[in-house]
Amino acid sequence: MLEITNLVKRYGHNEAVLKGLDLKVEDNSVVSIVGASGAGKSTMLRCINRLVEPTSGSIKLNGAELVNVKGAELRRARRKIGMVFQGFNLLDRLTVMENVLAGRLGYVNLYQAISRRYPQADIERAFTLMERVGIAHYANKRADELSGGERQRVGVVRALMQEPDLLLADEPTASLDPRTSEQIMILLQSLASELSLPVLINIHNVAQAKTYTERIVGLRHGKMIFDGQPADFNKDALDAIYGGIEAPDETVSEQPHRSAEVERHDSA
């Protein structure tokens, strides 16, 4: 279970990006976080695995505090949190298998890592997961030779290799074409239920959030302004979250026009 209490993040002396967030995620649930660019979605996700240092507040994963851990303890905490990135963030010049095994870097020692002598169990797990997402035949291909959807599958498998207690996905479909991004969302949804893994997905595409996740959290200006079932996520909620931000070339006062704009964007 993930428990975030009163999370604040401020860069320098600027206005805070996150202004006291509270969020509880039960095990085995897929939560999507929606919000306009700059609403603090990415910052919130990165505070959880501490790629971004929170200013104050508390984040507990299965009862263990994440905010104050340092050094080796932080790395032990991170290896239980998988992350999938918008830009895939693969090691382009290495093979798919090396990318996947890199998910075990928090577990193996430095010699094993550099000589690529991973334990047999890790290699079996890698093959099993790669077969599950359909990229096993690419094991010895260089990562930059794959297509976007395949690359994101490598990213997902790498995160799952960590045997995570929590999976974070930062705009996992934003760099993909609509068809492929549907496939990745379906994959994330089904993997979450197979592995009974809580998943947090930052997502731009409200239609996908409604279809593939069981709970939607809406952020605006660093504050949570919606938390509920996809069924309850109506036009009002949409306006509250994106109102006046999402379509900067439209005039803010023209309410109906803007909603239409958002809907067109969603169905794309």
Partner 1 sequence: MTPPDPQPRVPRTWKKPPFIANPFIRYGIFIVAAIYLVWAFGSLPFNWARISEGLPRAARIFSGGFPPSFERFGLLLTGFKESFQIAILATLLGVLLSIPFAVMAARNIAPLPIYLIGRSVIIISRSFHPVIVAILFVAAVGFGPLAGILTLTLYSIGFVGKLLAEEIEEIDWGQVEAMRAAGAGYIATLYYAVFPQILPRQVGLSMYQLDSNLRASAVVGIVGAGGIGGTLMNAFGRYDYDFAFAILLIIIAVILLSEGISGWVRKKIW
Partner 2 sequence: MVDHAQQLADRVWQRYDRKERLIRYAVLLGTLMLVFWAVRDIDIFWPWVWDAPNQMSNLGARMWPPSAAGLSNILNALLETVHIATLATFLTIFLALPVAYIAAQNTTPNRACLWLGRFILVSSRSVNTIIWALLFVAIFGPGVLAGILAIVFRSIGFIGKLMGEAIEEIDRRPVEAMEATGASKAKVVAYAIVPQVMPAFFAIVILRWDINIRESTVLGLVGAGGIGVILQGAIDTFAWPTVATILIAIIVLVLIGEAITSLLRSKVL
Contact positions vs partner 2 (CB under 8 A): 49, 51, 72, 74-83, 85, 87, 89-94, 98, 102-106, 110, 113-114, 155, 158, 162
Site for partner 1 in 146-165 (CB under 8 A): 163
Instruction: Tell me: does residue 197 bind partner 1 (CB under 8 A).
Output: yes
Tokens for 188? 């994330």
Closest by alpha carbon to 197, among 58, 29, 21, 40?
29
Evaluate whether 84 touches 156 at the Cβ level (below 8 Å).
Answer: yes
Tokens for 137? 């035949």
- What separation in angstroms does the CA of 31 have from each of 203, 230, 258? 10, 10, 26
Q: Please, which residue, 186 or 252, has the CB nearer to partner 1?
A: 186
Give the span between the Cα atoms of 266 and 35, in whole angstroms: 13
Residue 123 binds which of partner 1, partner 2, none (CB < 5-8 A, kind-dependent): partner 1
Instruction: Tell me: does residue 253 bind partner 1 (CB under 8 A).
Output: no
Residue 194 binds which of partner 1, partner 2, none (CB < 5-8 A, kind-dependent): partner 1
Residue 93 binds which of partner 2, partner 1, none (CB < 5-8 A, kind-dependent): partner 2
Evaluate whether 1 touches 170 at the Cβ level (below 8 Å).
Answer: no
Instruction: Tell me: does residue 167 bind partner 1 (CB under 8 A).
Output: no
- Eight-state DSSP code of residue 236: H
Q: Which residues make Cβ contacts (< 8 Å) with residue 6, sequence separation at least 6?
A: 20, 21, 22, 56, 57, 58
Instruction: Tell me: does residue 105 bind partner 1 (CB under 8 A).
Output: no
Residue 95 binds which of partner 1, partner 2, none (CB < 5-8 A, kind-dependent): partner 1
Shortest Cβ distance from residue 171 to partner 2 (Å)? 13
Closest by alpha carbon to 101, among 68, 124, 78?
124
Among 42, 98, 103, 218, binds partner 1 (CB under 8 A): 98
Closest by alpha carbon to 171, among 47, 16, 34?
34
Q: Please, which residue, 116 or 264, has the CB nearer to partner 1?
A: 116
With vertex at residue 151, the alpha carbon angle to CA 77 and CA 137, rounded to the nearest 5 degrees, is: 105
Q: Please, which residue, 44 or 197, has the CB nearer to partner 1?
A: 197
Instruction: Tell me: does residue 120 bind partner 1 (CB under 8 A).
Output: yes
Instruction: Tell me: does residue 191 bind partner 1 (CB under 8 A).
Output: yes
Q: How many CA atoms lie within 13 A of 2 on its CB side?
A: 30
Residue 87 binds which of partner 2, partner 1, none (CB < 5-8 A, kind-dependent): partner 2
**Type of residue at 146:** L
Give the SS3 label for residue 10.
coil
Stretch that binds partner 1, among 10-18, 41-49, 115-123, 204-212 (CB under 8 A): 115-123
Instruction: Tell me: does residue 127 bind partner 1 (CB under 8 A).
Output: yes
